[in-house]
């Protein structure tokens, strides 16, 4: 599959990640764990913005754009740990997808596309690291999720703000 087609598929992957994070946030909200819910609501917005950054790049590069549909996310979780474990699996999968896109861009000689993906490569390292750390916290706090809540409130994990080096997003970053 071509770089442009695979990049369009990545838009779907990012929107699917957004939906999964909303489902995780709603789960934590329903369990009255507001810090975990807020963390994943922020993650959902971030994934939406990633989809829109890719959309803007496709527009700027003159590639055709296919606005994708996505499958329904997993919404039932047996405990406090399972959603974070799912999030880590998702971030690792996205890292592989981004690496594949960079490989395709290089193989096709699309140096602008390859350069565009450099920010996403850096972002995925940060995402995997952040979710890995959160997984360790919720695993240790599985018998008392309020300890994970306290950790998130104290450390302000996931609230770093807007990255000025991030690519522009279609419609602006909201």
Q: Where are the domains of the chain?
A: 3-155
CATH 3.40.1710.10 assigned to domain 3-155? The reply is no
pLDDT for residue 171? 75
Q: Give the pLDDT band (50/70/90) at residue 160.
A: low
The share of the chain scoring above pLDDT 70, in percent, equals 94
Residues contacting 143, CB < 8 A, separation 6+: none
pLDDT for residue 166? 74
- What is the tens place of the pLDDT at every residue in 43-81? 999 999 999 999 999 999 999 998 888 999 999 999 999
- What is the tens place of the pLDDT at every residue in 11-29? 999 999 999 999 999 999 9
Cα separation, 45 vs 51, whole angstroms: 10
Residue showing tokens 């996505």: 70
What's the chain's average pLDDT? 92
């Amino acid at each position: 599959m071509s770089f442009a087609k695979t990049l369009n598929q990545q838009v779907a992957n990012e929107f699917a990640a957004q939906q999964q994070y909303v489902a995780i946030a709603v789960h934590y909200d329903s369990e009255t764990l507001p810090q975990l819910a807020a963390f994943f609501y922020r993650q959902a917005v971030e994934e939406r913005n990633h989809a829109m950054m890719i959309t803007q790049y496709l527009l700027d590069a003159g590639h055709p754009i296919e606005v994708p549909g996505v499958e329904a996310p997993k919404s039932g979780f047996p405990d406090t740990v399972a959603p974070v474990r799912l999030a880590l699996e998702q971030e690792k999968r996205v890292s592989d997808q981004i690496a594949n896109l960079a490989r395709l861009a290089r193989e096709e000689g699309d140096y602008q596309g390859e350069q565009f993906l450099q920010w996403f490569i850096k972002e995925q390292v940060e995402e995997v690291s952040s979710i890995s750390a959160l997984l360790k916290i919720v695993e240790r706090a599985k018998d008392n999720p309020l300890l994970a809540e306290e950790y998130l409130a104290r450390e302000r994990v996931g609230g770093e703000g807007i990255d000025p080096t991030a690519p522009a997003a279609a419609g602006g970053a909201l």
